């Protein structure tokens, strides 16, 4: 089994500040994403997963986010298996990001 790279909110914020090749991928449902999300993040669902995998460069860093940091672990592993070289699961998910006043 593949190991899952986990990333803290502080590490994710630092990565977003210092690197241009980072994409946040939000796998929460469309209603939750529509209500609130991190600016610049991409909503990923079963409907656009294939298109995302085909159109997104595999050498950028993907930070995968869900509600609480559980589902994002398997989604991160899935994207890694699909050929993305650098994937992370955001610890605590969107809930934790909002609690610390994420941007």
Q: How confident is the model at residue 75 (pLDDT cuts 50, 70, 90)?
A: very high
Residues classed as catalytic = 66
Higher pLDDT, 42 or 2: 42
User: How far apart, in whole angstroms, are the C-alpha atoms of residue 58 and residue 35?
Assistant: 29
Q: Please check whether residue 36 lies inside any domain of the structure.
A: yes
Q: Please check whether residue 86 lies inside any domain of the structure.
A: yes
Q: How confident is the model at residue 2 (pLDDT cuts 50, 70, 90)?
A: low
Average pLDDT over residues 13-35: 97
Q: What is the pLDDT of residue 103?
A: 55
Q: Please check whether residue 1 lies inside any domain of the structure.
A: no
Average pLDDT over residues 52-74: 97
Q: Please check whether residue 59 lies inside any domain of the structure.
A: yes
Q: What is the pLDDT of residue 4?
A: 86
pLDDT at 102 over 80: no
- What is the total count of domains within the chain? 1
Domain that includes residue 59, residue range: 6-99
| CATH number of the structural domain spanning residue 77 | 3.40.250.10
Q: Please check whether residue 41 lies inside any domain of the structure.
A: yes
């Amino acid at each position: 089994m593949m190991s899952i790279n986990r990333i803290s909110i502080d590490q994710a914020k630092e990565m977003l500040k210092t690197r241009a090749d980072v994409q946040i991928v939000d796998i929460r449902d469309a209603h939750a994403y529509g209500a609130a999300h991190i600016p610049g993040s991409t909503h990923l669902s079963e409907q656009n997963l294939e298109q995302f995998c085909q159109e997104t460069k595999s050498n950028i860093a993907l930070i995968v986010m869900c509600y609480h940091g559980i589902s994002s672990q398997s989604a991160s592993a899935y994207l890694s298996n699909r050929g993305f070289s650098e994937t992370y699961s955001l610890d605590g998910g969107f809930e934790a990001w909002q609690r610390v006043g994420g941007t």
